[in-house]
Amino acid sequence: MDHTTHPQPYAAPVLYTQDGTPYYATPPAPAPIALYHPTAPLPTPIHHPAPPLAYLPAQPPAPVPLRDPWPARLLAGGIGIGGAGLGVGFLLQTLAAATTGLALLVAALGALYLLKNSSGAGGRGGQGAVNVNVNVTNCNR
């Protein structure tokens, strides 16, 4: 029998990936070397039934380091504000073109109205030629 003292192997810390796969943080320590005794009986393996899967404790997933999403929010806000600015720009450009067109149409109709309803003679505006019939008799005769 081997009476030398061997240090007990420590349990290596186990880490888990995001999908729950375990991996060792350090390589597992090898088992201590045991002396071979040919006359010693071989130990019989002990059968330990595996616990049912329903009773296994769930392994907590490794904590995922949280990213600060402020650059993404700034980018999204900048794109949104830029898009809104372009939309407002197109709206104002369309509104300016429409009001310019309406102003030109009103000016043309006003000019036509003035040409139709005004005469070129004096300030009597709009009456045109006047027929005057004057009968003069000599009362002193």
User: What local confidence, expressed as pLDDT, does residue 129 receive?
Assistant: 72
Length of the chain counted residue by residue: 141
Is residue 99 a part of any domain in this protein? yes
Q: What is the mean pLDDT of residues 4-9?
A: 59
Confidence of residue 136 (pLDDT cuts 50, 70, 90): confident
Residue at 104 is within a domain: yes
Is it the case that residue 35 has pLDDT exceeding 70? yes
- pLDDT of 26 > 90? The answer is no
Residues 12-38 have a mean pLDDT of: 71
pTM of the model: 0.33
Q: How many domains does the chain have?
A: 1
- Of 30-44, 54-68, 96-110, 119-133, the one with minimum mean pLDDT is 119-133
Residue 17 in any domain: the answer is no
Q: 107: domain range? A: 81-112
